[in-house]
A and B are shown apart, each in its own frame.
Chain A
Amino acid sequence: EVQLVESGGGLVQPGRSLRLSCAASGFTFDDYAMHWVRQAPGKGLEWVSGISWNSGSIGYADSVKGRFTISRDNAKNSLYLQMNSLRAEDTALYYCATSKTVVLTPAYFDYWGQGTLVTVSS
């Protein structure tokens, strides 16, 4: 059974940093590209970042470019999101999701975790 478990969320002050993790199991991790998608409270889905199977291709939404860094460790079946210079508008539930391709696009988010909540507030 595919499982994605996010962790690392919490309350953080504006301007500070946070690192999210996603532990994957139940599938061959390095057969899939991985993505982060977020959802602000009561709002829609926003794609944040994605990474190909071998980290050779990486993409970011304009809203996080230069502040967030995605990475993966295939030996540990783990995905990460380093979030720096956090802003109030980054407050959201952050999901990790698989894409049933090895490359960044096409992107089909076929498995999702349950999300980890990030709240940016003073």
Chain B
Amino acid sequence: DIQMTQSPSSLSASVGDRVTITCQASQDISNYLNWYQQKPGKAPKLLIYDASNLETGVPSRFSGSGSGTDFTFTISSLQPEDIATYYCQQYDNLPGFGPGTKVDIK
């Protein structure tokens, strides 16, 4: 089974800051990596698919990059509405999620 790790597990940043989350796979998954945002009490929302493609309607301050085993998710300028937990998800074989990164405002 492919194991996914994310770091950090949580972070606090100021409005306007650049925020970066990393996701690492235990084996090469090419670009088979998606990113989701989950706000408290809500279902997750797909933000980035295939490592770097922005889902329709998602603000351009969100971006993703990487391939193989190492991936990065970036919020270029943190907004108050971005407070959420972010998950990476691979689909190399069967799907699997990373443990999540909780983002809040400093």
Contacts and interface: CB of A to CB of B under 8 A. Distances in A.
Interface string A54-67: 00000111100000
**Contact-size category for B:** 20 to 34
Interface in B11-36: 32, 34, 36
B45 to A, nearest CB: 8
Given A105-B95, A106-B32, A108-B49, A45 B43 contact: no
Interface stretch (A7-15, A23-31, A79-87, A111-119): A111-119
A47 B95 contact: yes
Contacts, number: 60
Contacts of B44: 37, 45, 95, 109, 112
Nearest to B1: A62
Contacts of A61: 94
A109 B36 contact: yes
Contact of B97 (A47, A108, A115): A47
Interface residues of A, number: 23
Contact of A44 (B43, B45, B100): B100
Majority secondary structure, B binding face: loop
Nearest to B43: A112
Nearest to A50: B95
Contacts of A44: 85, 87, 97-100
A45 B87 contact: yes
B94 A105 contact: yes
Nearest to A45: B97
Contact of A107 (B43, B95, B100): B95
Nearest to B46: A110
A8 B71 CA distance: 37
Contacts of B94: 47, 50, 59-61, 104-105
Interface of A: 35, 37, 44-47, 50, 59-62, 95, 104-110, 112-115
